Structure 1
């Protein structure tokens, strides 16, 4: 069985290397994703159980990852991933993590580090609990970890996923690392002029998403939002709302954020049926795939319009023909 997986990985990495080489030849960079945690039955836990909080006798987690209850999830989110034994990682100079980040750099040009908060503090839930309500906050490795990372990767080809309820310590850690953070435009229209995600409150050191894999598509978001949010959206952008997906895209392109990310579902103007993930729901996620017919429907006019928007907002790559 192990040899089978070795062979499948050999095929995958060969194909990925060819894809990345082609993308590079077209001056296309690839932004990848690094989940902060790993699965309990993955090769890393099997090979290095000493780096995780596991029961010595059973090899099962003694505590697992998740996030506490919030407005959207009264029971919190019980992810179930084993937690890191951070003192064990520290004793090895974070060698496992450096190897993991190096592997990401082999795959992608830039890597988004998921749940950045977990490096400052993380929610620890007893492994025998059925929900995330009775966890506790534990301290993560903090700035020391990123000092080691910076020494190994001076260019820091990473960005921090710093969304959600954060404390001052998380904000300070992100700023101390000089990693760009994230913003989501769908979160902007609650009617508060001080909302950090409104275009006039954004900063250059952010990567702005119209929506992420955890959000509905832009069309699905607009159609399911309450009328107050839709009204705020229309009023702020001075639009009718009849083309909400492209209204969001145009607004995102015109912000000062250094990078804008638009999901493929938005370019295809798809609704909630194409949503990728619903946080807190264990089933039915990560199933959407773009079909060849959908890809073919992306007309030259779509590409030309995106280029037009990039040009108008100063987002064309250096050296690109206007």
Structure 2
């Protein structure tokens, strides 16, 4: 990633939804500008956010009704009041939620659209509307996605907000021309409303981004690789996705079983029809990336590995056990992307257990990958997430939105974790551990008898395989020996160290800021040393995710000064 002025940079991960606000959820208004001011005062050059699309059931920003539309929840209501589109009494009439640190999505859903509908009525009811030309220009510029999105949302309301695959009218489900014309007339008012909402979102976004950029700060936005099954994208572009004749998915996305999940993860997103996309020059995808790069200064592509190989699960399925790995478009797609768009600033989310081919693709693309501090401490000195192993072309994090907060992670096993962190940050101060002498022949436990192999009878290939196996066994023994020593060192350190929470946090932030990584991004919750109650998301769970919000008093001058010092001392200003 080309950082600001090609120099080292630092930033903060802070979702728009998590900003303080009297109206239940963060918006692009005054508090967003205040946070940008805080970033400037802190010496930060990047503001990373989560996806900004309209959320659906479950409130996940990674399951959106559209790959292009903006979230109506992020529209600043006070700005609409200042424009004369709302009465302050109406805004203040509603109870937007009783807890300043958590979003009450059910309450927001019930209140927000009533208010926006009132603003919409005033907007179109004004015959001398000074923004009429701007509105029409916006609709024309974005008609490729806006027409389908507005119709999709309007028809969805007609069918009690059911998923489009469950709409009672098959003709509109399958987008028959007569049905499209019929519902454009029947739902005309609702279509106008959804276009108005997007007009206001993008209008406010331009002002918001303009202010952030004016301060010398870049917005790092997030683009989910998959779209939701219940989205305008799948409904309007069935050929782009792996769907059957009835519009139902043939295979869906997810992850295979692993240490963390015995049955894998069933995400349920429709997979792409890469054959069709290749035949059409990847036009749909290039338009999507172009839109993201116009919205953000830097774009993070989620689940980058799926461009190499992706996990395909037969539909329907109860779990992800019976999926298989299939080939994605590979480097050809990114070569086409760069030919069409130049070389936009992109960050590749390359976390998890990856095949070597994914790393080859990442290197060929030239995009920076991600390094997460919380993944570093398995006792192996070669772990790529340890700060001393970072390369320059990467973005280093304490944790992402899917991780526990730094404090929550640390407190699950504080003693041993402290020893491991300390030995990473201060390797010169780690006490030497004497290796225990090898066992004598009398002490050794009897090993299982191994089958004797007559090497002279082996073919050249068999001999090569045999030697390779011996080499791997020796490497494993050496690795186990080093891990044992490392474990003892960490345990010894944990017994001796007496560090305050503030000292632990300082140790971690110093290690990341001083690393080779060109860019360092820290979650605001981690800067504040908040516990697991401030975790943004726990994968594969529903109910308590995406809710955390910051209080105004969190952003103090003292914290800004501390962050500024980290940035200065690590040459990130």
Q: CA deviation at 1:226?
A: 6.2
Structure showing greater relative contact order (alpha-carbon pairs closer than 8 Å, 6 or more residues apart): 2
Q: CA deviation at 1:228?
A: 3.0
Q: CA deviation at 1:227?
A: 4.1
Q: CA deviation at 1:241?
A: 5.8
Q: Contact 1:50 / 1:88 at 8 angstroms: preserved in 2?
A: yes
Q: TM-score, normalised by structure 2?
A: 0.53
Number of equivalent positions: 312
- 2:49 matched to which residue of 1? none
Structure 1 residue 38 and structure 2 residue 227: aligned? yes
- 1:187 matched to which residue of 2? 375
Please say which of residues 221-230 and 266-275 is displaced more in the overlay: 221-230
- 1:154 matched to which residue of 2? 342
SS of the equivalent of 1:30 reads strand
SS of the equivalent of 1:213 reads coil
Q: Contact 1:218 / 1:248 at 8 angstroms: preserved in 2?
A: no
Structure 1 residue 299 and structure 2 residue 550: aligned? no
**Residues in 2 aligned to 1:255 and 1:236: alpha-carbon distance in whole angstroms:** 11
- 2:532 matched to which residue of 1? 272
What are the residue-to-residue correspondences of 1:150-299 with 2, within 5 Å? Answer: 150-225=338-413, 227-238=415-426, 240=499, 242-243=501-502, 244-290=504-550, 294-299=551-556
Structure 1 residue 7 and structure 2 residue 196: aligned? yes
Structure with higher Rg: it is 2
**Residues in 2 aligned to 1:74 and 1:3: alpha-carbon distance in whole angstroms:** 47
Please say which of residues 34-43 and 190-199 is displaced more in the overlay: 190-199
Q: Contact 1:191 / 1:229 at 8 angstroms: preserved in 2?
A: no
Q: CA deviation at 1:144?
A: 0.5
Equivalent position to 1:24, from 213, 217, 232: 213
Q: TM-score, normalised by structure 1?
A: 0.93
**Residues in 2 aligned to 1:163 and 1:237: alpha-carbon distance in whole angstroms:** 23
**Residues in 2 aligned to 1:114 and 1:225: alpha-carbon distance in whole angstroms:** 29
Residues 80-128 of structure 1: per-residue CA shift (max 9 Å, x gap): 0000000111111111111111111121100010000000000000111
Q: Contact 2:369 / 2:395 at 8 angstroms: preserved in 1?
A: yes
Richer in helix (by share): 2
**Residues in 1 aligned to 2:235 and 2:377: alpha-carbon distance in whole angstroms:** 45
Structure 1 residue 48 and structure 2 residue 305: aligned? no
Structure 1 residue 312 and structure 2 residue 569: aligned? yes
SS of the equivalent of 2:218 reads coil
SS of the equivalent of 1:137 reads strand
**Residues in 1 aligned to 2:311 and 2:417: alpha-carbon distance in whole angstroms:** 31
Q: CA deviation at 1:248?
A: 2.0
**Residues in 2 aligned to 1:309 and 1:31: alpha-carbon distance in whole angstroms:** 20
Q: CA deviation at 1:246?
A: 3.6
**Residues in 2 aligned to 1:299 and 1:124: alpha-carbon distance in whole angstroms:** 47
Q: Contact 2:293 / 2:344 at 8 angstroms: preserved in 1?
A: no
Please say which of residues 82-91 and 259-268 is displaced more in the overlay: 259-268
The gaps in structure 2 that reach 5 residues or longer are: 1-153, 155-190, 427-496
**Residues in 1 aligned to 2:552 and 2:294: alpha-carbon distance in whole angstroms:** 27
Q: CA deviation at 1:224?
A: 1.7
